[in-house]
Amino acid sequence: MSGEPANRLMAVWRRLTHFGRASTFDRELDEEISLHIEMRADELQQDGMTRADAMARAGREFGSALRVKEETRAAWQFRRLEETLADLSYAARALRRNPGFAAAGIFSLALGIGANTTIFSLTMEFLFSEPSGRNPETLAAMRIGGNSHAYMRHYRFLRDAHIFAGLAGSNEEAESNWRSGDETYRLHAMRVTDNFFGVVGVPLAVGRPIEPGDRDVVVLSDRFWKTRLEADADVVGKALTIDGRPYTVSGVLPPDHRTVLGFGFSPDVYLPASRENDRVALIARLPEGMSLPEAYGRLTTACKELDKVYPPEWNPQASWVTNTDVVPVAGLARLRNLRMVPFVAFFSMLLIVVGLVLLIACANVSNLLLARASTRRQELAIRLALGAGRARIVRQLLAESLLLALLGTGAGLLLNLWLASVLNHVQLPLPIPVHLLIQPDWRLLLYSAVIAMASALIAGLLPALKATRGGVSAALKRTERQVEGRWNLRGGLIVMQLAVSVVLLTMGVLFVRNMTKSMTMSPGFDVDDTVWASVRLVPEKYPTEEQVRSMTSAALSELRALPGVESASVARVVPLNGNSIRGDQVVADASAEPVRVRFHNNDVGPDYFRTMGIPILAGREFMASDRKGSPEVAILNENLARRLFGDRNPVGRTFRYPAPSLSDPITVVGVAANSKHFTLGEEKPLAMYSPYSQGAGGNLAPHLLVRSSRPEGLVREIARTLGALDPSAAIEVKPMRNALGFALLPSRIGAALLGSAALLGLALASIGLYGVLAYSVTRRTPEIGLRMALGADARAVLNMILRESGALVGLGVAVGLGVAVFATRPLAMFLVSELSPTDPPTFLGVIGVLSAVAAAATLAPALRAIRVDPMTALRSE
């Protein structure tokens, strides 16, 4: 029936209008009832009764006017709602009367809920935040031929094929030098094709975006505009000198701009990608209704056309179709991408961990409510005896936990806002600019509401059911000791809490140990006596490779001349700070069969190994004579040497690349010790080093490395020396120890987040444990007094108490350890290989900490109990 909901709504509306005229209603109802009774009396009088008798009879027939009025009024009321409100106001009064109880409950829940909502916000930001743009769900990132970025000519070919509603490109690793006054700063720029803003639909706060045909315009990020240009209101139209050229500011992005890449990546500026050798990651706007498989189909068809015009440069026989993929950039679909698995796993784990923290907090509140319920036993018994339904009383008790949960959630949300602003301002030690942008939104509110309801139920239901169990007679008994056994609900809660905190602590300790292990782990190169200077030269100033070469060698000789410098070298990639992985076929002269290997391929200058402190095990270092034009040489690390040449001595032997055409033989001149290249956790990396001037001489962003016995003291001198050489170059100098920040970041984040969650869990569980054990010992004070009065030995009584809580604690810890052994198994993917998830010291440490807390919680009240004068104790009975 279509009219039904409308009728319902009207009924609700009629009830609402009743609120305004409740007193009129009561008066009119009185009038109606008395008229009814009088009319009946009139009738009876006509039948011959006296007026008085008739009135009395009519009144009797009508029954209880009070009840009729109550029921009639009920027709107009929202009975449930009003009862709930009454329950809540009753609960509020109860909480005001017990401020300590209320504070403990709210505090526990606020911590638990604050931690939960913050991790939730973080998860949403990382996994579900959408790039700024029109309909991000119809945007898709594309790779062709397995390459993350395509050359401009390939991009233009695909764009002009018009297979999508739009195809744009962006390069996120475009560093640029910004000259301001006498200083040159390094900027993190995003180079985008001129149609990028149009295709993605990026909104701007001020001005206009980069538009087709634009060459020398720049769009600023809000952060750059505010922190570097003092939020200049007239910035649009002004020029910035970037890489030696003036760029006109065309617009400024809004503060909540999110890049297509996500993960908080936030470049300082957007520049047009106009140079022919720029490479761009492809992003397409799919036409309305086009599915990803359809898009993939169109892309591969276009790739086959591309093969004809521009065959893949690494192998003309190969096709751009291989390893081509199309992935969504927003929403759940993005998460199905395989590369997202570790992130999804990590955040799922975090959510589970803080869920456990909340569970502990709920158990605390549950325990508090149980303790309070036992003091309110008689009140409840009287209400049950007066005929209140059990459901009604359970509802009323739940109102109390609901109120606690609401207050706790309120406080938790404040905590969340504060933590989010702290997180938003965290400067991560990353080589790329990452800033989090966590904002409260409807998802957070919804999540908080769900969490509040869940906590209210989890914390309140058990105590409420328990308090009303057993009916009137059980409840009316003056004390509860007769009713409860030793293994009661509260004991069960302790065991549960302990078990959960054992699991949490195990995870936390594992991650903290993981961090200390990673920090003390040797990366295989010396970080203590090395300084790292990264230089970025302005491309416009160095049009030829020769100019770059002479600048690089001039810089090196100036550095070598500085007092205290033992050696200096140059590298294309600084280990643990950039990816140099390469997959290729290699044929060693020892065998005819090519092997496919994935290895780290760095280009390094003479003295690199000496400067970095990596031992050369056989053969020699690169020398100045290994230059462009001289025979090609290479140094292998032990792993790759063994892989290609087995147990033979590789020095003097050669290898070749069979594709695209068989290369000239490359001679192995040395074997270097194994070291870390990309991550600290990597196992048995293969690596090949090539002479810098043979492969990377024209590199505009060389990393200069300096070995010295006083690295910290040299930092400023190096910066000054390099700055004098070319004032337009952007220079950053730091001791190599700081350079480990990036490599250590994952383990530090893991340790910080899980360690603090574990500490929070432990703190909450300790408070709960202490409260419950202390309470149960205090309750037994009379019994202890009696035993002491009857001549029991203090030590025997103490032993008894310790044994009993020891049994509880032991059970809890045992259950927790059992669970932890399995729960920590999937963590192996986040840990360094030297650390097993079932690391015995971790488990022993956790047992130790929890036992200490439990012992403290039991001993203090137990000692107090045995010191109580037996007579005082007995009198309290």
Q: Which residues bind to another protein, rule: CB under 8 A? A: 7, 10-11, 14-15, 28-29, 31-33, 35-36, 38-40, 42, 61-64, 67-68, 71-72, 74-76, 79
Nearer to another protein by C-beta: 39 or 829?
39
Nearer to another protein by C-beta: 5 or 100?
5
Q: Compute φ and ψ for 603, nearest 5 degrees.
A: -105, 120
**Least Å distance between CB 7 and another protein?**
6
**Least Å distance between CB 815 and another protein?**
45
Q: Compute φ and ψ for 670, nearest 5 degrees.
A: -165, 165
Parallel, antiparallel, or unpaired for β 217-220 and 666-672? unpaired
**Least Å distance between CB 91 and another protein?**
22
Nearer to another protein by C-beta: 64 or 544?
64
Nearer to another protein by C-beta: 66 or 386?
66
Parallel, antiparallel, or unpaired for β 245-252 and 217-220? parallel
Nearer to another protein by C-beta: 13 or 822?
13
Encoded tokens for 322: 């291989």
Nearer to another protein by C-beta: 58 or 502?
58
Closest CA to 397 of 386, 414, 384, 411: 384
- 486 DSSP 8-state letter: S
**Least Å distance between CB 21 and another protein?**
13
Nearer to another protein by C-beta: 76 or 296?
76
CA distances from 383 to 374, 379, 380, 613 (A): 15, 6, 5, 81
Q: Note whether 659 and 585 are within 8 A (CB).
A: yes
Nearer to another protein by C-beta: 68 or 745?
68
**Least Å distance between CB 67 and another protein?**
7
Beta bridge partners of 140: 284, 328
Distance CA 826, CA 100 (A): 41
**Helix or strand run (H / E) with residue 863:** helix 840-867
**Least Å distance between CB 15 and another protein?**
6
**Helix or strand run (H / E) with residue 185:** strand 183-192
**Least Å distance between CB 396 and another protein?**
17
Distance CA 339, CA 262 (A): 14
Nearer to another protein by C-beta: 67 or 596?
67
Nearer to another protein by C-beta: 70 or 256?
70
Distance CA 154, CA 145 (A): 11
Q: What is the 3-state secondary structure (H, E, C) of 751-806?
A: HHHHHHHHHHHHHHHHHHHHHHHHHHHHHCHHHHHHHHHCCCCHHHHHHHHHHHHH
Q: Note whether 497 and 812 are within 8 A (CB).
A: yes
Q: Note whether 645 and 588 are within 8 A (CB).
A: yes
Q: In sequence order, which residues have a C-beta less than 8 Å from that of residue 798 and are 6 or more positions away?
A: 862, 863, 866
**Least Å distance between CB 471 and another protein?**
22
**Greatest Cα-to-Cα distance within the chain, rounded to the nearest angstrom:** 138
Nearer to another protein by C-beta: 15 or 598?
15
Nearer to another protein by C-beta: 53 or 61?
61
- 747 DSSP 8-state letter: H
**Least Å distance between CB 40 and another protein?**
7
**Least Å distance between CB 105 and another protein?**
32
Distance CA 577, CA 49 (A): 108
**Least Å distance between CB 369 and another protein?**
28
Nearer to another protein by C-beta: 33 or 321?
33
**Least Å distance between CB 13 and another protein?**
10
**Least Å distance between CB 393 and another protein?**
17
CB-side exposure of 151: number of CA atoms within 13 Å? 10
**Least Å distance between CB 515 and another protein?**
60
CA distances from 91 to 252, 449, 452, 604, 726 (A): 52, 19, 16, 72, 73
Q: Note whether 385 and 89 are within 8 A (CB).
A: no
**Least Å distance between CB 47 and another protein?**
14
Coil, strand or helix at 539: helix
Nearer to another protein by C-beta: 74 or 701?
74
Q: At residue 225, what is the residue type?
A: W
Nearer to another protein by C-beta: 38 or 783?
38
Nearer to another protein by C-beta: 42 or 540?
42
**Least Å distance between CB 475 and another protein?**
25
DSSP string for residues in 668-733:
EEEEEPP--SS-TT--S--EEEEEHHHHTTT-SSPEEEEEES-HHHHHHHHHHHHHHH-TTSEEEE
Q: At residue 476, what is the residue type?
A: L
**Least Å distance between CB 84 and another protein?**
14
Encoded tokens for 823: 């729960």
CB-side exposure of 642: number of CA atoms within 13 Å? 10
Closest CA to 195 of 233, 225, 240, 162: 162
CA angle 671, 677, 680 (to 5 degrees): 125
Q: Compute φ and ψ for 690, nearest 5 degrees.
A: -115, 155
Nearer to another protein by C-beta: 79 or 208?
79
Q: Note whether 91 and 85 are within 8 A (CB).
A: no
Nearer to another protein by C-beta: 65 or 597?
65
**Least Å distance between CB 56 and another protein?**
15
Distance CA 681, CA 395 (A): 54
